[in-house]
Amino acid sequence: ATPTAVMVGTGLGARRGVLFKNAIALETAARIEVVVVDKTGTLTKGEPEVTAVVTGSADSSVGEDELLRLAAAVERESEHPLAKAIVHHAEGRGLDAPRTQRFENVPGHGAIAEVDGHRVVVGNQRLLDREGIDAGAMTAGREQLAGGGQTAIMVAVDGVAAGVIGVADAVRDTSAAAVAGLHELGAEVVMLTGDNRATAHRIARQLGIDTVLAEVLPKDKAAQVAALQRDGRRVAMVGDGVNDAPALAQADLGIAIGAGTDVAIETADVVLMRSDPLGVPAALRIGRGTLRKMR
């Protein structure tokens, strides 16, 4: 790379809030063919809010407030953004979450703890399956929430499914335009998420994303990126770093959302200072422009 071309490219990026860490990042950006994008916190704002509470499973008599109180007690111990949404909502309703014992965080699944002597399981269908809890009575509620693009969080008390909490995370205003911009550049866009298939597909459809890798465990995200690289394609990964720092490192080009975690910003080759997904097609375009000037 000629120093001048690199300086021009870096300057163009800076003006758009796209920070290239080095010259190699600029050159790699020019050659990207596949862009893998994390859903939560990247395509969405990462500020999930509780929008629905469904109780009334035939097997359980736990009411709405009691369900939220128990779920919030467990989630108070968790760092997960979904957990924070539930705790915040319970506080908003003036519910006091009791103390818990034997808290267990289950990455990519949810959390479990003892509350007032009851064993409370809070998480996705996979967690209930793992715990051997029959959630058949909550299937309709879960499917309705997921079909609307919400994340359905199941709550079970003493082994019995008691309700579902719907959490919605609004998509960023520019996510659809960013996907369209990447398609114009001929890049394939892939959504990578730990969220359930129905929710992920609903949001992907809304944004015009063609390929969805859903229900991917945090520890498997980097392997999914590696699989896409296997046939020699150059892959960029865009993420906020909650769960996806190893995938950012695995990608040919790691792109971190500026509002993301410190580890993401450190791991990435490119940082989007304005946390705007439009920075991704901009980065690829600037890379291509830089490469053209070098020839």
With the CA atoms of 241, 246, 248 and 251 taken in that order, what torsion angle do they form, in degrees rounded to the nearest 10?
-160
With CB under 5 to 8 Å by kind, the binding choice for 193 among ligand ADP, Mg ion, none is: ligand ADP
Mask for 1-40, x = binds ligand ADP (CB under 6 A): --------------------------------------xx
DSSP state of 22: S
Told to judge if 134 belongs to the known catalytic residues of this protein, a careful annotator would answer no
Task: Give the SS3 label for residue 37.
Answer: strand
CA dihedral (260, 262, 264, 268) positive or negative: positive
How far is 157 from 56, CA to CA, in rounded Å?
A: 13
With CB under 5 to 8 Å by kind, the binding choice for 123 among Mg ion, ligand ADP, none is: ligand ADP
The reply on whether position 111 binds ligand ADP by CB under 6 A is yes
Task: Give the SS3 label for residue 159.
Answer: coil
Mask for 60-79, x = binds ligand ADP (CB under 6 A): ---------------x--x-
Encoded amino acid at 242, one letter: V
Near ligand ADP by CB under 6 A: residue from 76, 80, 89, 142: 80
Near ligand ADP by CB under 6 A: residue from 9, 13, 123, 260: 123
Task: Give the SS3 label for residue 295.
Answer: coil
Find the shortest distance in angstroms from Cβ 38 to Mg ion.
5
Near ligand ADP by CB under 6 A: residue from 82, 128, 187, 278: 82
Find the shortest distance in angstroms from Cβ 80 to ligand ADP.
4
DSSP state of 40: I
Strands 188-192 and 211-213 turn out to be parallel
Q: Which is nearer to ligand ADP, 7 or 227 (CB)?
A: 227
Mask for 245-284, x = binds Mg ion (CB under 5 A): ----------------------------------------
CA atoms within 13 A on the CB side of 59: 16
Q: Which is nearer to ligand ADP, 18 or 50 (CB)?
A: 50
The reply on whether position 242 binds Mg ion by CB under 5 A is yes
Angle between helices 197-207 and 139-147 (to 10 degrees): 20
Find the shortest distance in angstroms from Cβ 26 to Mg ion.
26
How far is 114 from 74, CA to CA, in rounded Å?
A: 8
Q: Where are the alpha helices (DSSP H) in the chain?
A: 3-15, 23-30, 64-75, 81-92, 125-130, 139-147, 175-184, 197-207, 221-229, 245-250, 262-267, 279-294
Q: How far is CA 203 from the centre of its chain?
A: 12
With CB under 5 to 8 Å by kind, the binding choice for 194 among ligand ADP, Mg ion, none is: ligand ADP
The reply on whether position 241 binds ligand ADP by CB under 6 A is no
Question: Scanning residues 40 to 69, which ones bind Mg ion (CB under 5 A)?
Answer: 40-41
**Which active-site residues does the annotation give?**
38
Binding site for ligand ADP (CB under 6 A): 39-40, 75, 78, 80, 82-83, 108-111, 122-124, 151, 153, 193-195, 218, 242-243
